[in-house]
Amino acid sequence: MYKDIATPVRTKEILEKYGFSFKKSLGQNFLIDPNILRNIVSHAHLTENSGAIEVGPGIGALTEHLARGAKKVVSFEIDQRLLPVLEDTLSPYDNVSIVHSDILKADVEAVIAEKMPDIQDIMVVANLPYYVTTPILMKLLNDRLPIRGFVVMMQKEVADRITAKPGTKEYGSLSIAIQYYCTAEVAMIVPKTVFMPQPNVDSAVIRLIKHETPPVDVIDEDFLFVVTRASFVQRRKTIFNNLQAGLQNGKAKKEDILAALEAASIDPKRRGETLSIQEFGRLADALHPHFA
Ligand code: SAM
């Protein structure tokens, strides 16, 4: 077993050797605690036949733990300055491929087909760059990749919104956008002290496991998300008022919205945050003929 990259001493050595300076704009907060890394990887339940996709390997702190626990690791890194560093730090591992790319622009499906053709079980495991947490998750979900799920670090506030249940103040269109595809839970809360440099916000690791089938069957998925986004624009307003303001640029007919709410058995005076994903599904289907 090699010396961990993620100790404060070794991380400093590596950064000094390469004269590396952190770019805040790329969300570069590196992990410097091997225990946290072991914990993160344990939540992914990898086997020696699994594959791991990583977003943003940095200097390889998490990557090497994945390399030890999985058959194959593919890591997407946007910062060219890190490529020679990773080549050096990950040289002991022959099961890691680094792809120099912005994950938001990458054809991840093609990369999986090329680098993991024989792997059945694939997890995304990452300490995400916080400035693009939601776009990254939505892209990887919308790409319909052959993956089991995600174990990912993000800012705690976003983790709370993603995993929120109806009736809480964190519950909103992001909770529904993610929970439509996956079960979502907070796996661990992570203190600032395990990062270099320390971020300004608290962090959490969440685990998302993709549903075999969505929790609600709808006519039009995109329209479900149009309805949920509209329903939360002003959280204090009723579902009826939000839909009236949000659908068809405020020109939607009042009677059509009321009829759809009635057809879906939803009281127009309720607020969006009280509706379950199943209720939003019924509502979206009832609104669909008028507004999609
Ligand atoms: N995995 C390392 C660790 O835990 O120490 C680094 C995590 S750091 C929070 C985020 C990493 O994502 C950085 O290496 C950064 O350069 C990279 N990154 C930022 N934006 C990216 C993007 N759009 N696509 C791929 N990598 C990105």
pLDDT digits (tens, 9 = 90+) for 212-229: 999 999 999 999 999 999
pLDDT (tens digit per residue) in 105-120:
999 999 999 999 999 9
Among 127, 151, 153, 154, the mutation site with the greatest number of ligand 1 atoms within 8 A of its Cβ is 127
Q: How confident is the model at residue 1 (pLDDT cuts 50, 70, 90)?
A: low
Q: Do 236 and 188 form a contact (C-beta atoms < 8 A)? A: no
Beta bridge partners of 127: 153
Cα–Cα distance between 125 and 60 in angstroms, integer? Answer: 13
How, if at all, do strands 203-210 and 30-31 pair? unpaired
Alpha-carbon span 147 to 153, nearest angstrom: 18
Q: Which atom of ligand 1 is nearest to the CA of 136?
A: 23
- Domain 221-291 -> CATH class: mainly alpha
Going by C-beta distance under 8 Å and a sequence separation of 6 or more, which residues neighbour residue 228? 173, 176, 177, 272, 280, 284
Pairing of strands 182-190, 203-210: antiparallel
Which residues, including other chains, have CB under 8 Å from residue 10's CB and lie 6 or more apart? Answer: 3, 4
Question: 152, 46, 148, 34: which is closest to 103 by C-alpha?
Answer: 152
What's the pLDDT tens digit per position in 156-168?
Answer: 999 999 999 999 9
Residues of the chain with CATH 1.10.8.100: 221-291
List, in sequence order, every residue forming a beta bridge with 76; answer none if it has no partner: 55, 99
Separation of 75 CA from ligand 1 center, angstroms? 10
* 240-256: average pLDDT: 89
| Nearest Cα residue to 45 out of 125, 163, 132, 116 | 125
Taking domain 8-210, whether its CATH number is 3.40.50.150 is answered by: yes
Q: Is the CB of 77 under 6 A from ligand 1?
A: yes
CA of 206 to the centre of ligand 1 (A): 17
Q: Is 76 in the pocket of ligand 1 (CB under 6 A)?
A: yes
At 274 the pLDDT is 97
Per-residue confidence band for 248, with pLDDT thresholds at 50, 70 and 90: confident
Domain with CATH 3.40.50.150 in the chain: 8-210
